[in-house]
Structure 1
Amino acid sequence: MEFLSGGRAEVRITHADVGKRVSVRRLTGAPTGEPAFTDAVGVLTSWNSGVLSITRRGGEVVRIEESALVAAKVVPAAPARRKVPAATVRELQEVAARGWPAIETERLGGWILRASVQESPGGAGPGEAVAGRRAGFTRRANSVLAVGDPGLPLDEALDRVTRWYAERGLPPLLTVATGRPDADERLAAELAARGWSDEAHTSVRIAALAPLADTDTDTSAVLLSRRPDAGWLGLYNRTGTPTAAASAVLTGGPSVWFARVPAPDGGTAAIGRLVVDGRWAGFAAVETAAGRRRAGLATLVMAALAERALEEGASAAYLQVEADNAGALALYDGLGFVEHHGYHYRRGPAGA
């Protein structure tokens, strides 16, 4: 890694480079005989209070004290690939979990128990699990990511899951992948035999990222920010009155961006959310206001977010869409997304 300019190392990045791909060298303070420096390449996702966060291609986040920097520079993103990426079910499940992170997690072998509890005085919105006045913000952030072996016999693992969610006032839910040889059809069958009902069948779709940005439309009308503003939240159909739990989940992830298209009347015409995690760009919450649909605004939002993801070094796109959402499926088919696998939720039987 070459940082030298005129025979000396230089730090050639500033706070304005947050969101760009960078290469940095830092002093490690290693004992004599060990390397004194380490290098990192990735997206500069934040620079706050004297600490830089670099998200590497595999999703690992490296935090570096500003005082330890020896050299740094912005580097170009890797060439964009135009083919649909290859991926395993497990990779996509784990990337999606990082991109929509729960507030509280606990491991059970290979499974991850997730909860994001919020007070819900007005009732829960779509996808929320209600128990009295407490609800979980979205099923994804309040369900078990069932990847691999839980490390216990299945009945014992399900008892543990049921108790864990009961302690948080939530029903037990498991996310189960299906539709590919490396998915877990057997687990789905075992749960069905035990009375765990299925719901919210979802299609996980992937695409090459570069073609999403290749439009003739000017994306300058799309406003991008690191946090959702009132206009964004007002159109997003899951939050209702914004809560701390919703905000934590929405803004969590390696490198998160929110897109908003202002309407001529001062409102919001369309929104979207992006999370960049290594090679993956995850799209979510792409919505268009009633009365402004069929005008290409969703495609515009996707293009603007894809441009930003390419700048951060991503090359592949994924999203999750409910299997019965015909309108969204048609949109994503037209943008080049293909189904990779499916998943659904299994809900524990009443009284479990």
Structure 2
Amino acid sequence: MLTVVEVPQWQGSRSPTAPRLAEGASRLAAMVPEARHVRVATGETLAETADRVRAALPRDGFVVTVGGDCGVELEPITAALRRHGDRLAVAWFDAHPDMNTPTTSPGGGFHGMILRTLQGEGPADLVRSPTLRPDRIALAGVRSFDAAETEHIGRAGIGGLSGIAEDALLYVHVDVDVLDGITSVGYPEPDGLSAEELIGSVAALAARHEIIGLGTTEYAPRDPRDEELLRRLVPELVRLCRLSGPWQIERRAANGWPARHAEERDGWLLRHTPGVPRRRCNSARPLPGASPSIEALESYYAERGVPAIVQVTPSAYHGELDALLARRGYTRECDTLVMTATTDAVPDVAGSAGVEEIDDRERWAGLFETVSGDAGNMDVAGHLTAKAVLLAKDAAGLGLAVTEDGWTGLFCMATYPGHRRRGVARSVLAAAARWSERHGATRLYLQVEADNQPARALYESVGFTTSHEYHYRRQG
């Protein structure tokens, strides 16, 4: 679910145009497509408004916070810190670093202190816990520094986007004054980023990291040309940030169900596993942000004597590619949902205690054969390099759990026909959630064919929701 939280706070700014930020928040919120809209009324103090924002933030789904001044980011980023800890990094797109303190701020506006306050140095009634470590901050487009800010940034070792840790989860902050030539802001600065440069930077981050939240602030409507620019820009930023989650799940899924032969080339992840009929390990997946070459795709699979198969994922992002493949005669097949859940959402059930955790891979083939009647999955499962376990409920059901970077993928869920509708799969899912927690992974994903209504109902009943959809296109 996509939620936009509108916070029309302007009192944190000392700009003469600050009151316009309330209208700017409303306009920015209207630019976020297909979102649930929550408007937070401002309080008599910044602290009171912050309390209201904290109460309004949803517990799940993707949240876009719009201001208002930059101070509205206090609670959304703190909430992300509480949820993700030191894995969280903040990419701060802004003309200003916003790292003053009450004693160093030239104008006294809280919006110029927000990023320092998140680090634990700010107005006493606005400092929150936990605090944001300086090495988890990346500045982008910043070009106007006060002396105290420059000193702090140098002393703390705060860098740019290239310094973000590979395993980081990201919160992206965009103050619209990061843009070049925009005048509908309180403190415009020359030599900013173009809209194309900003989109390119966010797209590159989304290709490498999961973006868990987005904030957009400081729009003080004045020039219709700025409004036109933002109406094009904001939806694209939201789209890219939301796609980062599906992209990162698909990256993990490719590792969690590895093809025997795989390579990245010409905009594709090309996969081939001779002797195994499953599409996932015998198909090409378009790489995030790339322009995949159809000629390279068809050449790769023709060399191997098999038809080209494309996993169109996430399907919502690849409409043009899907249409092109359709025109070339590729048939559509196997519409699939990718579903996710947090481990604490998956309830314990009585039968989960009887699920055996089998690390000995020598036993896997026999169990696959007994439960599903097919041990062909072993060619893939045997090449797993990530931490994995087969979870088996007697000889009645099983599932394969594979953990990477805080996520566990669930594969090969199967129940012996004579034991269906007896809670076997529910027991395996509960055991998988507990195993995952013990191995430091608190989020789960799985794939289910869209027309498999019984399986979908089961997964939904234990807390799974749909992240995205994909399907395949097979060369005719």
- TM class by smaller structure: 0.5 to 0.7
- Paired position in structure 1 for 2:71: none
Q: Check if 1:232 corresponds to 2:367.
A: yes
Inter-partner Cα distance in structure 2 for 1:348 and 1:230: 32
How many equivalent residue pairs? 235
Q: Cα deviations across residues 58-108 of structure 1 (Å, max 9, x unaligned)? A: 49xxxxxxxxxxxxxxxxxxxxxxxxxx86221111111111011101211
Secondary structure of the corresponding residue to residue 348 of structure 2: coil
Inter-partner Cα distance in structure 2 for 1:253 and 1:149: 27
What is the identity, as a one-letter code, of the residue corresponding to 2:332? D
Residue of structure 1 aligned with 2:413, choices 279, 286, 292: 286
Deviation at 1:322, TM superposition (A): 0.5
Q: Check if 1:117 corresponds to 2:265.
A: no
Residue of structure 1 aligned with 2:463, choices 336, 342, 352: 336
Inter-partner Cα distance in structure 2 for 1:146 and 1:102: 15
Check 1:96–1:236 CA distance in 2 against 1; reply closer, same or farther (3 A cut): farther
- Kindly name which structure, 1 or 2, has the bigger radius of gyration based on alpha carbons: 2
- Paired position in structure 2 for 1:147: 287
Q: Check if 1:215 corresponds to 2:351.
A: no
> Does the CA-based 8 Å contact 1:191-1:346 persist in structure 2?
yes
- Paired position in structure 2 for 1:197: 331
Check 1:194–1:218 CA distance in 2 against 1; reply closer, same or farther (3 A cut): closer
- Paired position in structure 1 for 2:423: 296
Deviation at 1:209, TM superposition (A): 1.4
Residue of structure 2 aligned with 1:254, choices 375, 378, 386: 386
> Does the CA-based 8 Å contact 1:58-1:279 persist in structure 2?
no
What is the identity, as a one-letter code, of the residue corresponding to 1:202? T
What is the identity, as a one-letter code, of the residue corresponding to 1:325? N
Inter-partner Cα distance in structure 2 for 1:222 and 1:256: 15
What is the identity, as a one-letter code, of the residue corresponding to 1:324? D
> Does the CA-based 8 Å contact 2:371-2:397 persist in structure 1?
no
Deviation at 1:211, TM superposition (A): 2.4
Secondary structure of the corresponding residue to residue 229 of structure 1: helix
Inter-partner Cα distance in structure 1 for 2:460 and 2:352: 21
What is the identity, as a one-letter code, of the residue corresponding to 2:270? L
> Does the CA-based 8 Å contact 1:207-1:338 persist in structure 2?
yes
Q: Check if 1:97 corresponds to 2:254.
A: yes
Secondary structure of the corresponding residue to residue 291 of structure 1: helix
Inter-partner Cα distance in structure 2 for 1:179 and 1:229: 33
Residue of structure 2 aligned with 1:175, choices 301, 307, 311: 311
Q: Cα deviations across residues 9-31 of structure 1 (Å, max 9, x unaligned)? A: xxxxxxxxxxxxxxxxxxxxxxx
- Paired position in structure 2 for 1:137: 277
> Does the CA-based 8 Å contact 2:406-2:442 persist in structure 1?
yes
Residue of structure 2 aligned with 1:165, choices 296, 301, 324: 301
Secondary structure of the corresponding residue to residue 401 of structure 2: strand
Unaligned runs of 5+ in 2: 1-164, 169-241
Check 1:222–1:162 CA distance in 2 against 1; reply closer, same or farther (3 A cut): same
> Does the CA-based 8 Å contact 2:349-2:426 persist in structure 1?
no
Inter-partner Cα distance in structure 2 for 1:144 and 1:312: 30
Check 1:57–1:304 CA distance in 2 against 1; reply closer, same or farther (3 A cut): farther
> Does the CA-based 8 Å contact 2:336-2:469 persist in structure 1?
yes
Higher helix content, 1 or 2: 2
Q: Cα deviations across residues 182-206 of structure 1 (Å, max 9, x unaligned)? A: x222211221122211111100111
Deviation at 1:170, TM superposition (A): 1.9
TM-score norm. by structure 1 comes to 0.62
RMSD (Å), alpha carbons: 2.4
Inter-partner Cα distance in structure 1 for 2:472 and 2:306: 14
Runs of 4+ aligned structure 1 residues displaced above 4 Å come to none
Secondary structure of the corresponding residue to residue 350 of structure 2: coil
Deviation at 1:210, TM superposition (A): 1.7
Deviation at 1:234, TM superposition (A): 1.4
Secondary structure of the corresponding residue to residue 165 of structure 1: helix
Deviates more, 1:281-290 or 1:217-226: 217-226
Unaligned runs of 5+ in 1: 1-55, 60-85, 119-135, 263-267
Deviation at 1:336, TM superposition (A): 1.1
Q: Cα deviations across residues 33-68 of structure 1 (Å, max 9, x unaligned)? A: xxxxxxxxxxxxxxxxxxxxxxx9949xxxxxxxxx
Deviation at 1:231, TM superposition (A): 3.9
TM-score norm. by structure 2 comes to 0.46
Deviates more, 1:183-192 or 1:91-100: 183-192
Aligned-pair identity (%): 31
Q: Cα deviations across residues 262-291 of structure 1 (Å, max 9, x unaligned)? A: 1xxxxx111111011111111121111112
Q: Cα deviations across residues 111-170 of structure 1 (Å, max 9, x unaligned)? A: 11001112xxxxxxxxxxxxxxxxx4310000001123556xx6xx22222222122232
> Does the CA-based 8 Å contact 1:261-1:301 persist in structure 2?
yes
Higher strand content, 1 or 2: 1
Inter-partner Cα distance in structure 2 for 1:57 and 1:208: 22
Inter-partner Cα distance in structure 2 for 1:150 and 1:233: 37
